A = this chain, B = another copy of it.
């Protein structure tokens, strides 16, 4: 698996580099002074080193086409990375996040480049996100889907719509965090790459069905891990400040669970940190320790484990190639590895 991931990462990075260099030239030909938009997309995309989505996409392709050439998956993989850049740029503006992937977010970069004007920074970040979205489409349309192209485009469209609706639930603080996370993250992080990889391999309906049954619980487990990382994760790993989700007041699965589990007094400790952008590191630590001591963290970890087990079950008995199936299983473990 490590070899597979490393070689695919290098291929995707090279494909993205070639594409983004061409876009910089294109922008310079049309409007040189707008190059900062392409640059901000490039910078965010280039520093996203894990490439989990293209790896998942290539593994699904290999599960359907044993021994197939993963070069065929690079345009679709690069498209999913640019879709991710687009979504992150817009989300970071909405969430007022200032750090992403170990660097400043797009609206912060653009605000600084324009004399600290926050509205201008936000406006240009919205444009940069729009541009990244169009780049994603352009790359996807270059992918060799052959007769399955229309299906692939429909998957791409559905994933986008689900993300927007999920993000709406997130922005307004909808209490149904599970649905919010399925729509917002599961759709394009796990299901979409699996679908695109399967369609590139001309999957049968049974194969596509098995991969979706694998993807749904896996996507949910991945999101739970993301919640655990956002609260307990090491900033060196997450690229975001410590306790970021707590300070930002995100309604993560942890918070939903805490609301059911905590006593009134415990809630007061949590509330000193949650949704308080000025919470001290001590208040963040107190809240984190409480979530551990009261078993909230443990419950979410157990739930994630059950979901991963369900995902792995869906692969067994499916008509998928042995090597690809093994890759998918190992990726499932990697995607949902325990937060240290």
User: A residues within 8 Å of B by Cβ?
Assistant: 26-27, 30-31, 33-34, 36-37, 90, 93-94, 96, 114, 119-120, 122-124, 126-127, 129-131, 133-134, 137-138, 141, 150, 153-154, 157, 160-162, 164-169, 171-172, 174, 179, 183
Roughly how many angstroms separate A30 CA and B167 CA in the complex, as a whole number?
Answer: 12
**Bound Cα distance A153, B166 (Å):** 28
Interface centre among A96, A126, A133, A137 (most CB of B within 10 A): A126
Q: Which 6 A-B pairs have the closest CB atoms?
A: A94-B123, A34-B168, A31-B165, A34-B165, A134-B160, A131-B164
Q: How far is the CB of A86 from chain B (nearest CB, A)?
A: 8
> Would you give the shortest CB distance from A162 to chain B, in whole angstroms?
6
Q: In the assembled complex, how far is the CB of residue A295 from the closest CB belonging to chain B, in whole angstroms? A: 30
Complex Cα distance, B161 from A141, in Å, reads 15
A114 and B183 form a contact (CB under 8 A): no
| A165 proximity list for chain B (CB < 8 A) | 27, 30-31, 34, 37
What's the least CB distance linking A7 to chain B, in Å?
30
| Count of identical protomers in the assembly | 2
- Check A93 against B126 for contact (C-beta < 8 Å): yes
> In the complex, A147 Cα to B166 Cα: how many Å?
36
Cα(A33)–Cα(B165), bound, Å: 9
Q: Which residues of B contact A114 (CB under 8 A)?
A: 172
A31-B169, A130-B133 given. 4 additional CB < 8 A pairs?
A: A31-B166, A120-B171, A120-B172, A134-B157
Least CB separation from A137: chain B residue = B157
CA distance A30 to B33 in the complex (A): 41
Please give, as numbers and ranges, the residues of chain B lying within 8 Å of A131 by CB-CB distance: 161, 164
Known A123-B93, A164-B37; judge A183-B30 contact (CB<8 A): yes
Whether B122 lies near A31 (C-beta < 8 A) is: no
Name the distance in Å between A185's Cβ and chain B's nearest Cβ.
14
Chain B proximity of A300: nearest CB distance (Å): 23
**Least distance between A87 CB and chain B CB atoms (Å):** 9
Are B130 and A164 in contact (CB-based, < 8 A)?
yes
Smallest Cβ-Cβ distance to A156: which chain B residue = B137
Query: CA A51 – CA B261 in complex, angstroms?
Result: 56
Question: A30 contacts B161, CB within 8 Å?
Answer: yes
Partner of A179, one of B31, B96, B124, B157: B31
Contacts of A168 in B (CB 8 A): 31, 33-34, 36-37, 124, 127
Cβ of A126: which chain B residues have Cβ within 8 Å of it? 90, 93-94, 126, 129
Contact (Cβ within 8 A) A30 B162: yes
